[in-house]
Amino acid sequence: MKTVKSILVVALAALSFVAVAKPGKKAPQTLKVDASASTFNWLAKKLTGEHNGTVKIQSGNLVTDGGKLTGGDFTVDFSTIKDLDIQGDFAGKLETHLKSADFFDVAQFPTSTLKITKAVAKGGENYDLTGNLTIRGITQSITFPAIVKVTGKTASASAKFDIDRTKFGLTYRSKAFFENIGDKMIYDNFTVDVKIVASAPM
C-alpha cells in the first residue's frame, strides 16, 4: 500500500512539474511610442482654399497581444502646430491663430489625446479602431480604419481620418453656427494623417 502511495506521489509531482514548466501564453506587451519616428499631419479646408501642416507627437504606447494590436494611447502637443503651405509672417500669424481660443486654445489645453478602447482585426494588417479622442478638454468616441503591423517587439499603426472640429468646441467660422459667414466659411471636418511607431523599452 505504501508503495502504491509513493508511486502516486511521484506521479503527481511529475505532472505538476510538467504543468509549471510548459510554456504558457505570452502576456500582453506595452510598446513605447517613438515620438521622433512618429508623425501627425493635418489638412484643413475653407471655402477659398486650404492649409496643411504638422503637430508633434509627445508620447504614447501601443499594446499588443499574440501579435495583434489590442489597445494603446498617444498624446500630441498642439503648442507645436506648424503650417507648411505658406511661409514667413503669414505662416506665423496662422499658427498663432490656431493656438488661440478661436481654435485649439493651447494656453489652457496644450495637448490632445487618443486612447484606443477597441481594436477589431479585419484581416491582414487591416483594423477598425475605436477610441476616446480628447481635444480642448472635450472627449468624444471615434471609429476609424487603420493599418497595423506587429513584428515581435515592435509595432506601427497608420491611419487617415476626418475629425469634426465642432464636436470639440472649435466653432470658429463654421457654417453650422454662423449662417451668414459667406466666403469666410471654414469646413467643419479636418483630416489627420497619423503614423505611430513603437517598440519595447530597452
pLDDT of residue 27: 85
- Of 151, 175, 184, 192, nearest to 69 (Cα)? 151
3-state secondary structure string across the chain: CHHHHHHHHHHHHHHHHHHHHCCCCCCCEEEEECCCCCEEEEEEEECCEEEEEEEEEEEEEEEEECCEEEEEEEEEEEEEEEECCCCHHHHHHHHHHHHCCCCCCCCCCCEEEEEEEEEEEEECCEEEEEEEEEECCEEEEEEEEEEEEEECCEEEEEEEEEEEHHHHCCCCCCCCCCCCCHHHCEEEEEEEEEEEEEECCC
Nearest-angstrom CA–CA distance, 146 and 94: 30
Give the separation between CA 45 and CA 188, rounded to whole angstroms: 9
Q: Residue length, the chain? A: 202
Residue 179's pLDDT is: 87
Q: Which residues of 43-58 are buried (b: 16+ CB within 10 A; e: fewer)?
A: bbbeeeeebbbbbbbb
Q: What pLDDT, on the 0 to 100 scale, is given for residue 121? A: 97
pTM reported for the whole predicted model: 0.85
pLDDT tens sequence for the chain (202 residues): 444 444 434 444 443 443 443 455 678 999 999 999 999 999 999 999 999 999 999 999 999 999 999 999 999 999 999 999 999 999 999 999 999 999 999 999 999 999 999 999 999 999 999 999 999 999 999 999 999 999 989 999 999 999 999 999 999 999 999 988 999 999 999 999 999 999 998 7
From the list 156, 160, 162, the residue with the least C-alpha distance to 145 is: 160
Structural domains in the chain, CATH included, are 26-199 (2.40.128.110)
Can you tell me the distance from the alpha carbon of 183 to that of 116, in angstroms, rounded to the nearest whole number? 37
The confidence score (pLDDT) of residue 32 equals: 98
